[in-house]
């Protein structure tokens, strides 16, 4: 019998004709949104939801008799939503700093425990969010792993070029797909149509995002980060992580995130929501490699540097699943 009952009914259930009619018909299409409508929704979506396990770990730590800035930062570092909101907060409170804050630990230090506690108190939980909206569950924990895995590998890629001096590379990898969280939070019906409904034309989720919402997660994420005054480097990464050759600034960072994202997807670590396979070739020949190691500078050297960076990355990749298992 065709499974036609939505939700988590875990008993066998034979639908009546009427029920079959209501469940088998194609769901009503969601309206394509104009850019202004999207911007309005983003304005009212300042509180990006975070993952329940991280939220409770953080609450527990904040209520403990003793805690250190580094411990608080360590937990926030596992959560793209909290990280984005923390950086937004610190950069608006300390507006006008010569260089914007993009280090998580520095942000925690500047804001102090009271403000962090407040931030956590008003943070919605992404799993509740979807339950309220009555939408089919999305594997958010796996998605969080995709984000953290990309962050860890972005740092590895960058360190093949230079010793990282701050945290911007990690943060960039962590929040590169923030547009998908924004989509789920600000336009849940569109998110549902892109990621849950089958048989609706194209298989590529980015194309579906453009067809159904009118904007893909890269553009949406960049718009969100820009509207919330996050550092430009992060906006550029969100915008161009699938096409780093189009970035005008922060090219190395954008390229590193593209490579890291492709590698975690290729390895099947976590889920980005895009289940299209990424072949070894896709990763090996990603456009970002030539941006990081331009061929025209010194062809021989650039090839050997690329080879070394790829070998190091593959080694880090082996340790990644074990690291991630303990984090979310």
C-beta closer to Fe ion: residue 77 or 180: 180
Using DSSP, state whether 215 is helix, strand or coil.
coil
Q: How far is the CB of 252 from Fe ion (least distance, A)?
A: 18
Tell whether residue 261 is a contact of Fe ion (CB under 5 A): yes
Per the structure block, which two tokens stand in for 13? 């259930």
Using DSSP, state whether 245 is helix, strand or coil.
helix
C-beta closer to Fe ion: residue 90 or 222: 222
Q: How far is the CB of 192 from Fe ion (least distance, A)?
A: 18
C-beta closer to Fe ion: residue 85 or 180: 180
Whether the Cβ atoms of residue 184 and residue 127 lie closer than 8 Å to each other = no
Closest by CA to 106, choosing from 64, 69, 53, 65, is 69
Stretch that binds Fe ion, among 14-22, 120-128, 155-163, 260-268 (CB under 5 A): 260-268
Q: How far is the CB of 257 from Fe ion (least distance, A)?
A: 8
Q: How far is the CB of 264 from Fe ion (least distance, A)?
A: 8
Stretch that binds Fe ion, among 23-31, 69-77, 110-118, 268-276 (CB under 5 A): 268-276
Residue from 127, 167, 169, 177 in contact with Fe ion (CB under 5 A):
177
DSSP state letter for 214:
S
Tell whether residue 236 is a contact of Fe ion (CB under 5 A): no
Residue 125 bridge partners (DSSP): 50
Site for Fe ion in 89-148 (CB under 5 A): none
| Euclidean distance between CA atoms 267 and 245, whole angstroms | 24
Whether the Cβ atoms of residue 56 and residue 82 lie closer than 8 Å to each other = no
Q: How far is the CB of 241 from Fe ion (least distance, A)?
A: 6
# binding residues, Fe ion (CB under 5 A): 3
Q: Cα(first)–Cα(last) distance of the chain, in Å?
A: 37
Per the structure block, which two tokens stand in for 173? 């990898």
C-beta closer to Fe ion: residue 58 or 278: 278
Give, in order, the Cα–Cα distances in Å from 237 to each of 274, 288, 294, 295: 18, 12, 19, 23
Q: How far is the CB of 231 from Fe ion (least distance, A)?
A: 19
Give, in order, the Cα–Cα distances in Å from 220 to each of 42, 139, 150, 155, 316: 9, 21, 19, 24, 31
Per the structure block, which two tokens stand in for 73? 């930062």
C-beta closer to Fe ion: residue 15 or 321: 321
C-beta closer to Fe ion: residue 127 or 261: 261
Tell whether residue 272 is a contact of Fe ion (CB under 5 A): yes
Tell whether residue 219 is a contact of Fe ion (CB under 5 A): no
Q: How far is the CB of 127 from Fe ion (least distance, A)?
A: 20
Binding site for Fe ion (CB under 5 A): 177, 261, 272
């Amino acid at each position: 019998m065709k499974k036609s009952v939505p939700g988590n009914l875990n008993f066998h259930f034979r639908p009546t004709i009427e029920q079959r009619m209501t469940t088998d018909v194609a769901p009503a299409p969601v309206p394509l949104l104009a850019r202004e409508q999207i911007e309005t929704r983003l304005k009212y979506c300042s509180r990006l939801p975070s993952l329940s396990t991280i939220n409770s770990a953080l609450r527990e730590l904040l209520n403990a008799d003793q805690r250190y800035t580094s411990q608080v930062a360590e937990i926030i570092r596992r959560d793209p939503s909290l990280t984005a909101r923390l950086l937004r907060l610190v950069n608006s409170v300390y507006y006008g700093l010569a260089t914007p804050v993009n280090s998580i630990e520095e942000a925690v230090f500047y804001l102090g425990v009271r403000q962090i506690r407040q931030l956590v108190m008003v943070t919605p939980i992404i799993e509740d969010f979807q339950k309220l909206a009555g939408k089919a569950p999305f594997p958010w924990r796996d998605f969080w792993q995709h984000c953290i895995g990309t962050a860890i590998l972005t740092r590895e890629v960058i360190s093949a070029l230079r010793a990282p001096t701050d945290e911007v590379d990690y943060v960039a990898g962590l929040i590169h797909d923030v547009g998908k969280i924004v989509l789920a939070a600000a336009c849940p019906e569109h998110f549902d149509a892109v990621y849950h409904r089958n048989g609706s034309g194209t298989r590529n989720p980015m194309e579906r995002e453009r067809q159904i919402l009118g904007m893909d997660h890269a553009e949406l994420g960049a718009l969100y980060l820009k509207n919330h005054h996050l550092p430009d480097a992060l906006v550029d990464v969100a915008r161009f992580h699938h096409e780093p050759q189009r970035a005008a600034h922060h090219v190395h960072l954008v390229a590193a995130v593209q490579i890291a994202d492709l590698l975690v997807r290729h390895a099947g670590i976590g889920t980005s929501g895009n289940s299209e396979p990424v072949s070894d070739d896709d990763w090996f020949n990603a456009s970002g490699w030539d941006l990081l190691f331009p061929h025209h500078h010194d062809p021989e050297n650039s090839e050997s540097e690329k080879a070394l960076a790829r070998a190091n990355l593959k080694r880090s990749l082996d340790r990644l699943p074990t690291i991630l298992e303990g984090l979310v």
